[in-house]
Amino acid sequence: AQSVTQPDIHITVSEGASLELRCNYSYGATPYLFWYVQSPGQGLQLLLKYFSGDTLVQGIKGFEAEFKRSQSSFNLRKPSVHWSDAAEYFCAVGNTGTASKLTFGTGTRLQVTL
Amino acid sequence: EAEVAQSPRYKITEKSQAVAFWCDPISGHATLYWYRQILGQGPELLVQFQDESVVDDSQLPKDRFSAERLKGVDSTLKIQPAELGDSAMYLCASSFSTGFVGELFFGEGSRLTVL
């Protein structure tokens, strides 16, 4: 069964500082990997996705993520955080087949200090 | 921009009552998902539809939860009777892709509070 681990429950960074959110996955085949962001009381918005090809993927809002097969990781990064980036971030892994679905991690809450 | 519509946004009910949530996916999206998100946790899949057929309901508590998508378009998730532990955000998502997980588009969710 596929699974995702986000080891950091809560991270606080200063505005303008760099950010890295960790994600480790477990999946038997080539994974499809996603990062979603959720503002309080809202649904989830896709930041970026990895299916194949270049292991460094660019997303919206200046985010990027790097797929490292050897480490089973898909960490999310941003070089300079803005106060509006404060939210909950979820990593997810997708499978293929008839019942294709996303399995989410428990999330990392990002707080940005001014 | 097309969106996934959900209603109601908020629902407060007493335990043992019945509740229902509605979802209208993006037009043309064959796959529809209902996820439950308990406060402080990630979304967990309850049920997945491909058109009008259920393809995965292994995590749906079938003694009290039911879901349908009769015409393969909009969907209803029902809980009867509601229990305190059902308090959560219920998220609907849809996807164009079949047999392959493409991007899921989420609605804003329905937050349920059971008293």
CB contact under 8 A, A107 and B50: no
Q: Using the beta-carbon criterion (under 8 Å), do B55 and A98 form an inter-chain contact?
A: yes
- Which residues in chain B are contacts of A90 at CB distance < 8 A? 42-43
Question: What's the CA gap between A27 and A106, in Å, rounded?
Answer: 17
DSSP-assigned states of every residue in A21-41: E--EEE-SSS-EEEEEEE-TT
Quote the pLDDT of residue B35: 97
Predicted confidence pLDDT, tens digits, chain A (114 residues) = 789 999 999 999 999 999 999 999 998 777 899 999 999 878 899 999 998 888 999 999 999 999 999 999 999 999 999 999 999 999 999 877 666 788 999 999 999 999
Q: B50 vs A98: CB contact, 8 Å cut-off? A: yes
Which positions in chain B touch A50 (Cβ < 8 Å)? Answer: none
CB-based contacts of B2, cutoff 8 Å, min separation 6: B26, B27, B105
Residue among A3, A36, A43 nearest B107 (CA): A43
Tell me the two tokens of residue A5: 């681990």
3-state helix, strand, coil in chain B (%, to 5): 5, 50, 50
How far is residue B104's CA from residue A46's CA, in Å, rounded to a whole number? 8
> Which among B39, B48, B51, B101 is the top mutation candidate for probing chain A, defined by the most A β-carbons within 10 Å of its own β-carbon?
B101
Identify whether the C-beta of residue B67 lies closer than 8 Å to the C-beta of residue B60.
Answer: yes
Instruction: Report how many Cβ contacts below 8 Å link chain A to chain B.
Output: 67
Confirm or reject contact between A18 and chain B (CB < 8 A). no
Q: Is the minimum CB–CB distance between A53 and chain B shorter than 8 Å?
A: no
Question: What pLDDT, in 10s, does the model give residues B5-61?
Answer: 999 999 999 999 999 999 999 999 989 999 999 988 999 999 999 999 998 999 999
Pairing state between β A32-38 and A87-94: antiparallel
Tokens, residue B50? 């491909």
Q: Tell me: the pLDDT tens digits for B64-100?
A: 999 999 888 999 999 999 999 999 999 999 988 766 6
Assigned token pair, A95: 């499978």
CB contact under 8 A, B109 and A42: yes
Cα first-last separation, chain A: 41
Cα distance from A42 to chain B (closest Cα, Å)? 5
Q: What is the CA radius of gyration of chain A?
A: 14
